[in-house]
């Protein structure tokens, strides 16, 4: 299906992290945009933070003016559609810094009267602030009970869409900014101080929408999305994460200085879900990709070859009847050998040939299409002592082999579960150098969550988690160890 990636390196500029000295640029997180509208040019930077649509979940929201067409530039005007009253919510976790909620009049443009807007400003941990303006009188302080210095979570109710102040009609004026340290806003209207040329505004990056940036004329459905991640946790783990929310979680993890440690994709009832693990960031440069087909994966491999990155982890999963790939790459000089999308027979030949020498399998990811298995393998030159790898085990066979290997002093180093002709099959690797671990399989989502919480309380870290379909149910298998 695709050619081998033997002893070569792959990477992609989709996601980046790097050393504390930032020798690698996070291209999707930091970037300059040149904005041109009505003959005016302004430099705008994408927001550091990632935000949700600031309307109650389930609301259909239309963008009236985007960061290019709003005057001044860099702000967003949006309206709820299809109903008569719309609730405005916080776009991210933060602390309320300013509230004005006492006005009720609409101010005509060009009247010369001050823009007596109602508004809320929220400060976020990343140093950015968000503004919500034109809301109905008393909807913030009376109905939502919002107060200055109150901490709010993403999705917290802030007030009702209105047309108070300098507004042509009912809508929400939303913006992201980085205020100056003293006198950050003009109280009347809530405008950012010292903001000539919109230099203090940021183009908001929005979770779960196409392109990640609001576009005039487009409509979006507001919904809950992965929120801010506090830095410094021993691990951040998510299971059953919808594919459309993965990028948002990834960006939030980058903002909190985590690195991606494990990614597992699986298809459940025609949709792609991810199980992911993040750890606090270290000094080794790394990159990650997901949702690539075989040709894209190969192209990225060819493009990045020779830059010194090696595959640390790779997973294959199905999107319909097409194989998709997700991978993590690091720049640490370790030599690896890899292949992807090859037949079961080709895989067995390579496994036999390569392990006759110094290569040992680290990843054996499998997908099954119309009864045919396709393998993605990753090998390292490592002395792992005694080892065993099997990739076509039933649940009962896996359990039996797990117990047998445990008696021999071998512990689970890798596990991938996939669906083959309607039944789950297990691909597992045991070796003698992996520390003893707690392992579970056949877990429901709730069961897995409880096992995860118990493991964390016991001081264990999640080392692998894989999702699969068993009949009509999503199941999970995982391992934890010190």
pLDDT for the residue numbered 29: 29
pLDDT for the residue numbered 24: 25
Separation of alpha carbons 121 and 99, rounded Å: 7
Separation of alpha carbons 190 and 203, rounded Å: 18
Mean pLDDT, all residues of the chain: 89
User: How far, CA to CA in Å, does 162 sit from each of 78, 105, 226, 246, 423?
Assistant: 11, 10, 28, 33, 54
- Least reliable range by pLDDT among 265-274, 303-312, 391-400, 425-434: 303-312
Annotate 138-198 with three-state secondary structure. CHHHHHCCCCCCCEECCCCEEEECECCECCCCCEEEEEEECCCCCCCEECCCCEECCCHHH
What's 30's DSSP letter?
S
Using pLDDT thresholds of 50, 70 and 90, give the confidence band for residue 308. confident
- Least reliable range by pLDDT among 136-145, 180-189, 247-256, 398-407: 247-256
Strand 40-51 and strand 191-192: the pairing is unpaired
Separation of alpha carbons 273 and 317, rounded Å: 10
Q: Which two tokens stand for residue 468?
A: 């699969």
Contact 69, 214 (CB under 8 A): no
Using pLDDT thresholds of 50, 70 and 90, give the confidence band for residue 234. very high
- The model's pLDDT over 106-137, given as tens digits with 9 standing for 90+, comes to 988 777 788 899 999 999 988 999 999 999 99
Using pLDDT thresholds of 50, 70 and 90, give the confidence band for residue 39. very low
**H helix intervals, 318-415:** 344-355, 395-407
Separation of alpha carbons 260 and 237, rounded Å: 10
In this model, does residue 18 exceed pLDDT 50? no
- The model's pLDDT over 440-460, given as tens digits with 9 standing for 90+, comes to 999 999 999 999 999 999 999
Q: At which residue do the structure tokens 């009236």 appear?
A: 64
Separation of alpha carbons 261 and 236, rounded Å: 10
What's 199's DSSP letter?
T
pLDDT for the residue numbered 42: 42
- The model's pLDDT over 325-337, given as tens digits with 9 standing for 90+, comes to 999 999 998 999 9
Rounded to 5°, the CA angle 229-230-234 comes to 100
- Least reliable range by pLDDT among 78-82, 167-171, 302-306: 302-306
Using pLDDT thresholds of 50, 70 and 90, give the confidence band for residue 15. very low
Separation of alpha carbons 15 and 250, rounded Å: 9
Separation of alpha carbons 371 and 388, rounded Å: 25
Using pLDDT thresholds of 50, 70 and 90, give the confidence band for residue 226. confident
pLDDT for the residue numbered 86: 97
In this model, does residue 360 exceed pLDDT 90? yes
Using pLDDT thresholds of 50, 70 and 90, give the confidence band for residue 258. very high
Distance of CA 323 to the CA centre of its chain: 21
pLDDT for the residue numbered 25: 26
Helix (H/G/I), strand (E/B), else coil: 471: coil
Rounded to 5°, the CA angle 390-385-339 comes to 45
The secondary element (H helix, E strand) that includes residue 447 is helix 445-457
Quick one: which of 213, 167, 172 has its CA closest to 50?
A: 213
Using pLDDT thresholds of 50, 70 and 90, give the confidence band for residue 14. very low
Q: Where are the domains of the chain?
A: 15-23+227-481, 32-221
Distance of CA 458 to the CA centre of its chain: 27
Q: Tell me the CATH architecture of domain 32-221.
A: Distorted Sandwich (2.70)
In this model, does residue 9 exceed pLDDT 80? no
Using pLDDT thresholds of 50, 70 and 90, give the confidence band for residue 36. very low
Nearest-Å Rg of the Cα atoms of the chain is 26
Q: Which two tokens stand for residue 222?
A: 């507001």
Separation of alpha carbons 199 and 151, rounded Å: 27
């Amino acid at each position: 299906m695709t050619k081998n990636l033997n002893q070569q390196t792959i990477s992609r500029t989709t996601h980046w992290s790097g050393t504390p000295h930032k020798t690698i640029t996070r291209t999707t997180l930091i970037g300059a945009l040149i904005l041109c509208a009505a003959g005016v040019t302004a430099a705008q930077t994408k927001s550091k933070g990632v935000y949700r649509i600031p309307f109650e979940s389930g609301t259909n929201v239309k963008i009236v003016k985007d960061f290019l067409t709003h005057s001044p530039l860099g702000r967003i005007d949006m309206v709820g559609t299809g109903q008569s009253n719309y609730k405005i919510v916080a776009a991210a976790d933060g602390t309320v810094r300013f509230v004005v909620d006492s006005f009720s009049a609409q101010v005509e443009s060009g009247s010369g009267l001050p823009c007596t807007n109602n508004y809320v400003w929220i400060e976020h941990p990343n140093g950015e602030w968000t503004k919500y303006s034109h809301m109905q009188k008393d909807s913030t302080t009376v109905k939502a009970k919002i107060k200055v210095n109150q901490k709010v979570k993403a999705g917290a109710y802030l007030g009702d869409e209105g047309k108070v102040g300098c507004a042509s009609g009912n809508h929400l004026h939303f913006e992201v900014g980085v205020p100056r340290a003293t006198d950050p806003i003009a109280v009347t209207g809530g405008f950012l101080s010292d903001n000539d040329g919109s230099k203090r505004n940021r183009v908001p990056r929005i979770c779960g929408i196409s392109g990640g940036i609001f576009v005039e004329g487009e409509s979006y459905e507001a919904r809950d999305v992965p929120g801010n991640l506090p830095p410094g946790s021993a691990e951040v783990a998510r299971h059953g994460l919808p594919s459309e929310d993965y990028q948002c979680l990834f960006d939030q993890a980058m903002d909190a200085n985590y690195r991606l440690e494990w990614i597992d994709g699986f298809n459940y009832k025609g949709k792609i879900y991810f199980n992911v693990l993040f750890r606090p960031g270290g000094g080794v440069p790394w990159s990650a990709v997901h949702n690539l087909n075989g040709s894209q994966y190969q192209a990225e491999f060819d493009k990045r070859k020779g830059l010194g990155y090696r595959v640390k982890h790779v997973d294959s999963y199905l999107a319909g009847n097409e194989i998709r790939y997700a991978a993590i790459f690091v720049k640490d000089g370790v030599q690896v050998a890899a292949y992807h999308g090859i037949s079961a027979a080709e895989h067995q030949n390579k496994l036999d040939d390569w392990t006759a020498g110094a290569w040992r399998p680290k990843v054996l990811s499998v997908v099954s299409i119309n009864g045919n298995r396709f393998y993605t393998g990753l090998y390292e030159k490592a002395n792992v002592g005694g080892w065993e790898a099997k990739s076509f085990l039933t649940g009962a066979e896996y359990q039996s082999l797990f117990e047998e290997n445990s008696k021999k002093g071998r512990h689970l180093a890798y596990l991938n579960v996939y669906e083959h002709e309607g039944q789950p099959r297990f691909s597992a690797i045991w070796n003698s150098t992996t520390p003893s671990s707690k392992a579970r399989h056949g877990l429901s989502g709730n069961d897995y969550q409880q096992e995860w919480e118990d493991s964390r309380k016991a001081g264990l870290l999640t080392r692998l988690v894989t999702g699969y379909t068993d009949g009509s149910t999503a199941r999970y298998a995982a391992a934890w160890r010190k």
